[in-house]
Amino acid sequence: MADWVLHVDLDQFIAAVEVLRDPSLRGRPVVVGGNGDPSERAVVATASYEARAFGVRSGMPLRTAFKKLPDAVFLPADHALYSSASADVMAVLRSFPVVVEVLGWDEAFVGATVDDPFALARSLQAAVLSATGLHCSVGIGDNRLRAKLATDLGKPAGVFQLVRANWVEVMGHRPTSALWGIGAKTARKLAELGLSTVTDLANADPDVLAARFGPRMGPYYRAVALGAGDTVVSATPWVVKSRSREKTFQHDLASPDDLRREVVALAHQVALDVVAEERPAVRVGVKVRFAPFFTQVRSMKLPAPTSSADTLADAALTVLARFDHTRPVRLLGVRAEFSDDDVEPTTSPSTYE
């Protein structure tokens, strides 16, 4: 028998849960986000495959989604429902003789020592579907990176294996943005160096990458292109690293006084979460989304750990002052980060992005 890493990813999870609640939605384009009102300033949390066929994607403004697909069913997000559905799925996975590492509502790594990882993958899929009515895709890999990437190659409701032997064949010709951890901005920077594909990046000069991206990230990007990754799957409960609140304004804010007032209000809301967490914050971050849709995030370390609402608000205001306020603001967010040293396990995913 061999050690394998499997990545289980629920297909269109939030939309699928909504369909389970209301079967009449099956086969229809469903868009979930905000309060379900496409005229409000909010973004798409998820879209069903039927909606994605028309170009609707997660993170897209609801107004844009409505322009693309006015006949879609727009629904408000129901975090409690999704959390409950996720817990049911994870319980099914844990019923197998495997190690389960939860990554969020809709995905988990599974570590297993088996002869036939495909048989295990299909058994996991069948068990999840039978118990919850939800479909999932499973990626099989010889490390976490390859398992994670394999899942997308098997969607929807499929199984795909990505290992060292087929890495170059499957991934070599793909753009660098296909790699886990390389987003569109980094991919553009790599393209400026003449590195457009995974193979290009794998063969890149480490010194050139280090000079462009730094001594840590440069070599890391090349290692990812080579398919390198951790093989350890841990059952240690996922621990929340921060608490955050954010607010999208129906009308852009431009007044400094309005911005400060909103940041203070958000910081006080976050302080309530920090107190409930029973872990003091060590860092405060502020997110500002300028009109039309340009987002920046900045943060600062606190002089000492704290749960004080006033202290968190003062820090948030200090961070807010570091932004260049030359554009109107459509969204503000405040985040309090915890130390890794004192943790209380939780299964609640952070909503701060």
Question: For residue range 244-277, what is the model confidence (pLDDT) as tens digits?
Answer: 999 989 899 999 999 999 999 999 999 999 999 8
Q: Does residue 73 surpass a pLDDT of 80?
A: yes
pLDDT at 82: 94
pLDDT over 70 percentage in the chain: 96
Q: Does residue 345 surpass a pLDDT of 50?
A: no
Contacts of 127 (CB under 8 A, 6+ apart): 92, 95, 96
- pLDDT interval class at 351 (50, 70, 90): very low
Q: Does residue 348 surpass a pLDDT of 90?
A: no
| Segment 336-351 mean pLDDT | 54
pLDDT at 41: 82
Query: In angstroms, how far is CA 272 from the centroid of its own chain?
Result: 24
Task: For 312-330, write each residue's pLDDT tens digit.
Answer: 999 999 999 999 988 999 9
Dist CA 331 CA 291 (whole Å): 9
Query: Buried (b) or exposed (e) across 286-324, using 16+ Cβ within 10 A?
Result: bbbbbeeeeeeeebeebeebbbebebbbebbbebbeebe
Place of tokens 């609801």: 62
Dist CA 70 CA 257 (whole Å): 37
| Segment 9-29 mean pLDDT | 96
Cis peptide before 70 (omega within 30 of 0): no
- pLDDT interval class at 346 (50, 70, 90): very low
Contacts of 296 (CB under 8 A, 6+ apart): 287, 288, 290, 323
pLDDT at 192: 95
Dist CA 141 CA 160 (whole Å): 9
Q: Does residue 347 surpass a pLDDT of 50?
A: no
pLDDT at 43: 87
Strand arrangement of the beta sheet that strand 2-10 belongs to: 99-104, 107-114, 2-10, 136-141, 159-162
Dist CA 182 CA 18 (whole Å): 31
40 catalytic residue (yes or no): no
Which one from 18, 50, 107, 246 is the annotated catalytic residue? 107
Token digits for 217? 């990230």
| Segment 86-99 mean pLDDT | 97
Q: Does residue 303 surpass a pLDDT of 50?
A: yes
Nearest to 48 by CA among 90, 84, 18, 81: 18
Between 340 and 229, residue with greater pLDDT? 229
Token digits for 248? 């999208």
Q: Does residue 342 surpass a pLDDT of 80?
A: no
Dist CA 177 CA 183 (whole Å): 6
DSSP 3-state assignment of 45? coil
The residue type of 115 is D
pLDDT at 284: 97
pLDDT over 90 percentage in the chain: 84
pLDDT at 250: 85
User: What is 230-255 written as a DSSP string?
Assistant: ------SPP---EEEEEEEEEEEE--
- pLDDT interval class at 175 (50, 70, 90): very high
Distance between first and last Cα of the chain: 40
Q: Specify the pairing of strand 281-290 against strand 294-306.
A: antiparallel
Lowest mean pLDDT among 160-174, 205-219, 274-288, 329-343: 329-343
pTM (2 decimals)?
A: 0.78
Dist CA 167 CA 163 (whole Å): 6
pLDDT at 349: 33
Token digits for 101? 């590492």
What average pLDDT is seen over the chain? 92
| Segment 137-152 mean pLDDT | 97
pLDDT at 340: 67
Residue 41 carries which DSSP code?
S
Q: Which domains does the chain show, CATH number per domain? A: 9-99+114-138 (3.40.1170.60), 167-225 (1.10.150.20), 242-338 (3.30.1490.100)
Between 102 and 325, residue with greater pLDDT? 102
pLDDT at 341: 62
Query: Buried (b) or exposed (e) across 120-138, using 16+ Cβ within 10 A?
Result: bbeebbebbeeebebbbbb
